[in-house]
Amino acid sequence: MKRIIVLSISALLLFTTTVRAHVENISQATALIDAAMQKSLTIINDPSLTTEVKRKKLWPIVTTYFDFTLISELTLGKFSADSTRPLGDYSDRRFTDSQQEQFTDAFTIHLGNLYLDRLNNESKFSVSLTHSSAMKPIRKMQRARVNSLINNKTAIDYSLRLKNNEWRIYDIKVEGRSLINSFRKEYSALLLKKTPDELLTLLNEKNLAHTENNAE
């Protein structure tokens, strides 16, 4: 009986410690989103800054808080280099490690252009964090979701992963629409028609055109 009591107490202590650590980790994820939002809003809502200056100041924040490597891998889905899912007649569309590295670089720039282009000198935003919760772990990585409201009306949810004791954002849902799912559908359809190299060329051409248009 004494042995059973000792084991029961040990199990309870272990469970309590695990739960406490889990709660602390979720709090860390929430704190990361809050810090990212406060830094971003300080720049976005500054009327003295031009749109171009805002873009330059925001980009280091974006690259610090987002895991673009994981974002790119999940976007490619079954076509990613590490995927083991069968491709059937499209086995030549599987990305090599080198191609995926190039895709990550190009896709990161493309995403930055898409979302930072929405800024203008009159941009004004407020953000309130409404809820934080744990998500089912994947690949032995703890995950969390932080819900927010932009300007008290637009729901934006951030999905984060914990790796090497660091939280990073890997997906955003705007009014329930996932960034990763949207691009995965688009690129999966393209990869049924184009090779990885052709998709890379397409992305690089878009990025180059954006640079040239903004240089005019």
Q: Quick one: which of 17, 15, 22, 16 has its CA closest to 132?
A: 22
- Please state whether the predicted TM-score (pTM) of the whole model is above 0.75: yes
Read off the pLDDT of each residue in 192-198 and give the average, rounded to a whole number.
97
pLDDT tens, 16-26?
333 333 456 88
Question: Which range has the worst mean pLDDT, 3-7, 21-25, 88-92, 162-166?
Answer: 3-7
SS3 182: helix
User: What separation in angstroms does the CA of 15 have from each of 133, 177, 202?
Assistant: 18, 35, 51
Phi/psi class of residue 24: alpha, beta or left (left: φ > 0; alpha: ψ in -120 to 50)? alpha
Q: What is the pLDDT of residue 118?
A: 80
3-state SS, residue 212: helix
Higher confidence at residue 205 or residue 20?
A: 205
